[in-house]
Amino acid sequence: MKKTKRATLEAAGWVVGSVKEFLELSEADAVLIEVKLALSRSLRERRNKQGLSQVQLAERLQSSQSRVAKMEAGDPSVSMDLLVSSLLLLGASSTDLANAIKGREKKAGTRAA
């Protein structure tokens, strides 16, 4: 959030904080959620990069399109094991997984640092 927007909201009486603070999450829980969301984003990006639909990925996983949609949305019912195994099925390496978790996965036209 931009500093000016934050200042405007605070001046209007709003309290600005993080999701971690709002939900009173422990540091471990907050990190776990971020890791899961990073893996979900990575799965969607890798699927799109390979030109696959959710239906096509579901067929490869012997699952359903709705399950793939839940995986990509970071649904709480989806395990990290399923996310990791799906990424591996799409050709991700352990380095790719680590970069996704670090938030340094390659974006279009950029290199991971």
pLDDT in tens, 81-112: 999 999 999 999 999 999 999 985 544 334 43
Domains of the chain as residue ranges with CATH: 16-101 (1.10.260.40)
Judge whether 87 and 96 are in contact, CB under 8 Å: yes
The span from the CA of 79 to the CA of 58, in Å, is 16
Torsion angle in degrees (nearest 10) through CA of 95, 39, 34, 113: 30
Per-residue pLDDT reduced to its tens digit, 1-46: 788 998 999 999 998 888 788 888 999 999 999 999 999 999 999 9
Cα 89 to Cα 110: distance, rounded to the nearest angstrom: 24
